[in-house]
Amino acid sequence: MTPEALARAAEKIAAADHLAVSTGAGMSKESGIPTFRDAQDGLWAHFKPEELATEQAFRAAPRRVWSWYAERRLKMSRCEPHAGHRALVELEKVTPELVIVTQNIDGLHQAAGSREVVELHGNIGRCKCLDCGRRADLPVSEHEDEIDRDPPACPACGSHLRPDVVWFGEMLPRQAVERAWAVARDCDLLMVVGTSGVVWPAAELPYIAKREGATVIEVSPEPTEVTRTVDIFLQGPAGEILPRLVAEAARIA
C-alpha cells in the first residue's frame, strides 16, 4: 500500500457522510480464525466448507457437521478482536452511524465494541431447531472431549439443534438483507475488508454501492474478485492497514 493511496482513502473517509464497512473471513484472520481460502486442517482436512455447511450434509451426518461447528465455536471462543476490529470501533468517533455488514459468524466485531453490526450469515454462538426453528441455548460449556458428539435435542420438538448460521443453499435472514442492501444503496463510502467476493448474495454489496455512486475502498493482502471494481485498493492485512487508515482519517476530520 502506498502512502498516497492511504492518504487518499483517509481523505475519503474523513469527508464521508454515510460510511459502511463490509467484512469477510479475512477480517478475522489476524485473530487466529482461518479463512475459507485457507486449507482446512485436522479432522476436516479432507472436507471443503461448502460440503459441510449445508442442510443436506447435516441431515446426512449430524454428528460430523455438529462436531465441525463445535470445534470452530470452541476455537472462535478463544479468539480476541485484533487492532483492525478496534480501529473500526474508533472509526465510529469519526462517523457515528457507521454500519458494519459482516459475512463472519464469529461475533468479533461485537466483541470489539462495534455498535451497528449486520450479520448476513448468522452467528456460531446461537443455535436453533432444525425442524421447528425455535432458538435454543447452547449446551453449557462444551469441553474438548465433547467435540465429537451428536447434536443436542430441541427442547420443544426433540429434533436436532443446528447452528444458527446460513448454510449454502439457504436464504439469508430477511431483516439482515434488507438492512445491508439499504446501507449499500445509501452509503457514499463503502470499505470492503477481507473478502474474496466469491459467495453470493453477500458479494453483491460493493457493486450496489458502486452503482449508486459511492466510493469503494478495499483492504486485502491480495487482489480479489472485487478489486477491479473498487476506487482505492489498499493492499495488506486488515490488522495493519485499518489502524493507520483510521488514525489518518481522524487526524484530517
Which C-beta is closer to ligand BV8: that of 15 or that of 74? Answer: 74
Contact pick of 4, 171, 174, 175 for ligand BV8 (by CB under 6 A): 171
Are 203 and 218 in contact, with CB atoms under 8 Å apart?
no
Told to judge if 121 belongs to the known catalytic residues of this protein, a careful annotator would answer yes
Minimum Å gap between C-beta 154 and ligand BV8 is 20
199 - beta bridge partners?
Answer: none
Least spacing, CB of residue 17 vs ligand BV8, in Å: 26
In terms of Cβ atoms closer than 10 Å to its own Cβ (0-12, 13-18, 19+), residue 70 is buried
Q: Which amino acid is at 179?
A: R
- Give me 25's grid cell: 473471513
When the beta carbons of 215 and 220 are compared against ligand BV8, the nearer one is 220
Question: Quick check: 196 binds ligand BV8 (CB under 6 A)?
Answer: yes
What residues line the site for Zn ion (CB under 5 A)? 129, 132, 154, 156-157, 159
105 makes contact with ligand BV8 (CB under 6 A): yes
Residue 30 is classified by DSSP as T
Binding partner of residue 187 among Zn ion, ligand BV8, none, CB under 5 to 8 Å per kind?
A: none
Q: Other C-beta atoms within 10 Å of 144: how many?
A: 9
Would you state the cell numbers that stand for residue 19, as one nine-digit string? 460510511
Q: Can you tell me which of 76, 208, 238, 249 binds ligand BV8, judged by CB under 6 A?
A: 238
Conformational region of residue 236, where left means phi above 0, alpha means psi within -120 to 50, and beta covers everything else: left
- Per DSSP, 165 falls in state E
Q: Is-contact 226 209, C-beta < 8 A?
A: no
| Partner from ligand BV8, Zn ion, none contacting 252, C-beta within 5 to 8 A by type | none
Residue 22 interacts with, from Zn ion, ligand BV8, none (CB under 5-8 Å by kind): none
Cβ proximity to ligand BV8, 7 vs 44, nearer residue? 44
Cis peptide upstream of residue 201 (ω within 30 degrees of 0): yes
Phi and psi torsions of 124, nearest 5°: -65, -20
Which lies closer to Zn ion via its Cβ, residue 12 or residue 162? 162
Q: So which residues are the catalytic ones?
A: 121
Contact footprint for ligand BV8 (CB under 6 A)? 24-26, 29-30, 35-37, 50, 53, 103, 105, 121, 165-166, 168-171, 193-196, 198-200, 202, 219-222, 224, 237-238
